[in-house]
Homo-oligomer: A and B are copies of this chain.
Amino acid sequence: MPRPTLADVARAAGVHPGTASRALNPDLRGRIAEETTKRVREAAERLGYVVDSVGRSLRTGRSRTIGVLVPDLTNPAFPGMIRGIEDELRVHDYAALLANTDNEVEREAELVATLKARQCDGFIIASAMRDDPVVRELVTAGDKVVLINRLLDDTTASAVVSDDQSGIAAAVHHLHGLGHNAIGHIAGPRDLSITRTRRVAYAQSMKALGLRGYVVLAEAYTAPAGHDAALRLLKRSRVTAIVAGNDMLAVGCFKAIEQLGLSCPEDISVVGFNDMPLAAHLRPALTTVRMPQYDMGVQAARLVMKADLSPETVVLPTELVVRASTGHVE
The interface-forming segment of A36-44, A45-53, A184-192 is: A45-53
Chain B residues contacting A86 (CB-CB under 8 Å) are 73, 98-100
Q: Which residues of B contact A3 (CB under 8 A)?
A: 116
Complexed CA–CA distance, A52 and B59 (Å): 13
Given A52-B117, A53-B119, A281-B255, does the pair A83, B72 have CB atoms closer than 8 Å? yes
Once the chains are docked, how many angstroms separate the CA of A74 from the CA of B78? 9
What's the number of copies of this chain in the assembled complex? 2
Partner pick for A223 among B82, B87, B281, CB 8 A cutoff: B281
Q: Is A30's beta carbon under 8 Å from chain B?
A: no
Across the two chains, which residue of chain B brings its CB closest to A284?
B283
- Residue total for A at the interface (Cβ-Cβ under 8 A): 47
B95, B113, B119: the one contacting A114 at CB < 8 Å is B95
Answer whether residue A90 sits at the interface, using C-beta atoms and an 8 A cutoff.
yes
**Distance A114 CA – B86 CA, assembled complex (angstroms):** 13
**Is A262 located at the chain interface by the 8 A CB criterion?**
no
CB-nearest residue of chain B to A67 = B95
CA of A95 to CA of B119, assembled, Å: 12
Whether B54 lies near A278 (C-beta < 8 A) is no
| CB-based contact A119/B223 at 8 Å | no
Which B residue sits closest to A107, measured CB to CB?
B90
At the interface, yes or no: A26 with Cβ under 8 Å from chain B? Answer: no
Contacts of A154 in B (CB 8 A): none
B97:A50 contact, CB within 8 angstroms: no
Instruction: Provide the bound-state CA to CA distance between A67 and B303, in Å.
Output: 24
Can you give 6 A-B contacts (C-beta < 8 A)? A50-B117, A54-B118, A76-B278, A86-B99, A98-B98, A282-B283
Which A residues are within 8 Å of any B CB, using their own CB?
Answer: 3, 50-55, 57-58, 63, 65, 72-74, 76, 78-80, 82-83, 86-87, 90, 93, 95-100, 111, 113-119, 223, 251, 254-255, 277-278, 281-283
